[in-house]
Amino acid sequence: MQIPGIRHKDQLREDGIDRRTLERWRRSGAIRSVQPWYVTPEAPQDLVAILALGLRPTCLDAAAMHGLFVPHHQGTHVFHPRASTRRDELRGRRARALRRRNGEVHGHGTPQTLSFHGPQSRAWPDKDPVPELDLVLEHAGRCLPAVKVAILLESALNRGQLSMSGAQRIVASLPFHAARSLSRVRGDAESGTETAVRWWFESRGVPVRAQVSFPDDARRMDLLVGRSWVIECDSREHHADEDSYEKDRVRDLHLSQKGYDVTRLSWRQVFLTWPTTERSLLVLLGRGEHLRPPTSRRGALLQG
């Protein structure tokens, strides 16, 4: 994946940029050398700091650069190949020293604590600063808990950046225990919060369906638990705009009129305060009301 402001020296050579031109640009401050890269001021400086160590981002951090929904995490996930040149070896020593002391890399933003990935490959897979999505997802599959891998895979599927056959190929390449769990990945999840919550219910054997059509309506529920419990999952870290807020409340009221119970979970409840959220969901599950059909629930309410 190419990043604005960062070009590999071989790519510049292929573009017909000669050494004299590069030197002129370097002296003028238009570019600087971070071998084997040439970078301009617009390049993301946190990424440049990683590249300067002979590393590249992968897993969650590279997935974010590809535009996927990424769950909350700490540390910057990186990888590097086995040394093939003296320069690679020197950079590798520096990277290993950072790894031993859980060191931080400083760009323009918050210091980055590195999380190293293995196994090392023999060479870089391409000349781009950020690996292609397939490799990023394969690294994620060998690093993260299944639910976080599922979030990345389903985000890529939903955005059309990955086919179902491509997802199945990545899953098949993973160790058996991971592949078995990820076999239920699907392509219609509309947010990472939806994937995370659905995964939780499925892992407990609770009947849950995703993207179920409203009764007599073209709209869809995020999750239908049992027969009458609707879970709506907010996809953004920050509050939605006023128009979206109003539409959500209209949806909730419509479903309530049809006899459904509606629970709306925020990004924060799913990713930052999950233990508290989980306890509440378990209490609601324990009541068993989700097993009753919405029409009978509505009837009971009207009779009361």
Q: Look at the alpha carbons of 121, 53, 63, 139 in this order and tell me if their dihedral is positive or negative.
A: positive
Quickly count: other Cβ atoms within 10 Å of residue 48's Cβ: 19
Pair 244, 282 in one domain: yes
Can you give the pLDDT at residue 239?
A: 52
* Cβ neighbours of 170 (radius 10 Å): 25
Contacts of 255 by beta carbon, 8 Å cutoff, 6+ apart:
214, 221, 230, 262
Residue 50 belongs to some domain of the structure: no
Is 74 contained in some domain? yes
Mapped onto helix, strand or coil, the DSSP state of residue 265 is strand
Q: For residues 133 and 66, what is the distance between their CA atoms, to the nearest angstrom?
A: 7
Does residue 141 lie within any of the structural domains? Answer: yes
Residue 14 shares a structural domain with residue 96: no
In a domain, 48, yes or no: no
Q: Mark residue 266 as left, alpha or beta (left: phi above 0; alpha: psi -120 to 50; beta: remaining).
A: beta
| Angstrom distances, CA of residue 300 to CA of 102, 236, 249 | 59, 36, 23
- Choose among 178, 155, 105, 124: nearest CA to 9: 124
Q: Are residues 65 and 172 in the same domain?
A: yes
Question: Phi and psi (nearest 5°) for 189?
Answer: -70, 130
pLDDT tens, residue order, the chain (304 aa):
989 999 999 999 899 999 899 999 999 999 999 988 999 999 999 999 999 888 899 999 999 999 999 988 888 999 887 654 445 555 555 555 555 545 555 555 556 788 888 766 667 778 899 999 999 999 999 999 999 999 999 999 999 999 999 999 999 999 898 899 899 999 989 899 999 999 999 999 999 999 988 877 778 889 999 999 999 998 775 555 667 778 878 888 888 888 899 999 999 999 999 999 999 999 999 999 999 998 755 544 433 3
Which structural domain, as residue segments, surrounds residue 225? 192-303
CA dist 37 to 9, 92, 117, 169, Å? Answer: 6, 17, 22, 32
Strands 6-8 and 37-39: antiparallel
Does residue 49 fall inside a structural domain?
no
**Do strands 37-39 and 32-34 pair parallel, antiparallel, or not at all (unpaired)?**
antiparallel
How far, in Å, CA of 183 to CA of 172, rounded?
A: 9
81: phi then psi, degrees, rounded to nearest 5: -85, 170
| Domain assignment of residue 273, yes or no | yes
Element (H, E) at 78: strand 76-79
Q: Do 151 and 103 belong to one domain?
A: yes
Question: Quick one: 68 and 121 in the same domain?
Answer: yes
Does 70 share its domain with 170?
yes
- The answer to whether residues 76 and 118 belong to one domain is yes
How many domains is the chain partitioned into structurally?
Answer: 3
CB 49 within 8 A of CB 106: yes
Beta carbons of 17 and 27 less than 8 angstroms apart: no
Q: Give the end of a domain, one of 114, 147, 182.
A: 182
